[in-house]
Amino acid sequence: MVKLIVLDIGYGDTKYATIVNGGGKVSLRRQLFPSAVAAVGPNGFSSGPKPKAGQSLTFGGQKYAIGDYASGLSAEFATLARDRAWSEEALVLALSGLVRAVPGGGQVNLTVSLPVSWMSDASRVKSLLRGDHEVKVGRAISLYQVKRVDIMPQGFGVYMAATHALDEKGAPYLSAPDIHHGGAIVIDVGRHTSNFVFVHANSRYDNSLSDSAELGTDIVLRAIQVEASKKHRMTISMSVADRATREGYLSVGSKKVPIKTLVGPAYQDLASRIVSVSQGLVGSRKLGFGCVIIGGGGSKVKPLVAAIKKGFGHNRFIIDRQGQFGNVTGQLIWALGVK
Ligand SMILES: Nc1ncnc2c1ncn2[C@@H]1O[C@H](COP(=O)(O)OP(=O)(O)OP(=O)(O)O)[C@@H](O)[C@H]1O
Ligand SMILES: [Mg+2]
């Protein structure tokens, strides 16, 4: 049986989803892990804690630590390369997603989303992913036979997820028909980048009105790091800063220092830049926005979303409920329904 796996490799986290059939029940499995990769020597794991499933693999004769394990092992881990398109790190993250989703190997079909700015590289990514990949996990060798690869821009999955929704009573509906006057601008707000995807009234993605920009929640995380260092003489990692944004305070010793006043201006700044990129893409062509759809991890940050919404004024505004899993959820809907 060919398994379907969908992947969304972000600068912050790699998200994957698959459908599992077990115990008489078919269910959706969605998971994420940090997009961190560290190449290690042959004896790299001999001391310290052992990696968990999917946190290490050997591919092409090279051993890699992945995710939390990579960042715990060394401060010098690589994440996705910003200046290149598809990279070795991206391939290792994709394979790690496969190992976690289908342990032991097998035949798979993949739907992978790429940043809008990488879409010109889509056919090369397809051919790199397609075919056989031998991956060693521990002592076991697994063979993944990638039969088919579909590529879509990050942000389009958010569109699919947001338009195939359930209402308050749990009844399914398509919100697409009512947003179809003027099309929709979808903004997928990530850790380091945001993808802006324009979808026409007929649900067609328009590459010429879409783009990626280096705008993400890390602007805010960096502001927290600077504050922690200046005011509290603390050096904190991005993941500690990330936790602070989710909890609303920074732990300094036993004290909880609220971060609201600190992050407010950073969110405001990020929001206004997001609105101006959208207007630059779509507004100048007098197409206007039939609707604004916001998704990605950034759509879970309330003050940020409020500031973006204010910036768009009267436009219809939809917040995708899937947060970080917006793309993989929509990619799965697409993969199951469209072909
Ligand atoms: N519930 C939440 N509350 C607050 N912040 C959140 C929440 N969920 C996610 N975030 C923030 O949103 C960020 C972006 O998440 P997402 O997974 O969409 O980014 P990414 O796709 O990895 O990044 P990129 O788009 O740059 O490649 C996270 O790194 C985190 O800082
Ligand atoms: Mg993303």
Q: Are residues 10 and 142 in the same domain?
A: yes
What is the per-residue burial (b if ≥16 Cβ within 10 Å, else e) of 303-315? bbbebbbebbeeb
pLDDT at residue 295 tops 80 = yes
Q: Are residues 117 and 42 in the same domain?
A: yes
- pLDDT-derived band of residue 60, with 50, 70 and 90 as boundaries? very high
Ligand 1 in contact with 190 (CB < 6 A)?
yes
Q: Are residues 107 and 180 in the same domain?
A: no
**Cα dihedral across residues 321, 280, 285, 119: positive or negative:** negative
Pick the last residue of a domain from 153, 187, 214: 153
Residue 35 alpha carbon to ligand 1 centre in Å: 12
Whether 33 is in a domain gets the answer yes
DSSP 69-97: HHHHH-S--B---SSSSS-HHHHHHHHHH
Ligand 1 in contact with 196 (CB < 6 A)?
no
130 or 285, greater pLDDT = 130
| CATH number assigned to the domain comprising residue 26 | 3.30.420.40
Q: Are residues 139 and 28 in the same domain?
A: yes
Question: Which of 70, 31, 64 lies closest to 49, judged by CA?
Answer: 70
Q: Are residues 259 and 139 in the same domain?
A: no
CB 169 within 8 A of CB 175: no
The total number of structural domains that make up the chain:
2
Residue 10 alpha carbon to ligand 2 centre in Å: 5
Q: Domain of 128?
A: 3-153
Ligand 1 in contact with 193 (CB < 6 A)?
yes
Q: Are residues 148 and 183 in the same domain?
A: no
Q: Are residues 209 and 105 in the same domain?
A: no
Whether 167 is in a domain gets the answer no
Q: What's residue 54's pLDDT?
A: 83
Q: Please give the structure tokens belonging to residue 259.
A: 């971060």
Q: Give pLDDT tens digits for 220-255.
A: 999 999 989 999 999 998 888 989 988 989 998 899
Ligand 1 in contact with 323 (CB < 6 A)?
yes
Q: Are residues 15 and 112 in the same domain?
A: yes
